[in-house]
Homo-oligomer: A and B are copies of this chain.
Amino acid sequence: MNLVNQIIQGDCLDVLQQFPDNSIDFIFTSPPYADQRKKTYGGVKPDEYVGWFLPRSEQFLRVLKPTGTFVLNIKERAVNGERHIYVLELIMKMREQGWRWTEEFIWHKKNSYPGKWPNRFRDSWERLLQFNKQKKFNMYQEAVMVPVGDWAKDRLTKLSETDKTRDESKVGSGFGKNISNWVGREKVYPTNVIHMATECGNKNHSAAFPVDLPSWFINLFTRSGDVVLDPFIGSGTTAVAAIKLSRKYVGIDVSEEFCNLSRERTSGIQMQFLAVEPKSEAYNSNGSA
Contacts and interface: CB of A to CB of B under 8 A. Distances in A.
Interface in A191-223: 191-198, 200-201, 212
Interface string A80-92: 1111010011011
Interface residues of A, number: 76
A267 interface: no
Contacts of A162: 146-150
Contact of A83 (B83, B104, B178): B104
A181 interface: yes
Given A83-B103, A173-B197, A195-B166, A118 B139 contact: yes
* Nearest 4 Cβ contacts at the A-B interface: A111-B174, A124-B191, A174-B197, A167-B195
21 contacts: A81-B135, A83-B104, A102-B120, A110-B155, A111-B177, A112-B174, A113-B177, A113-B182, A115-B189, A118-B139, A121-B192, A124-B191, A125-B191, A147-B165, A150-B161, A150-B162, A163-B195, A166-B190, A167-B195, A168-B212, A169-B197
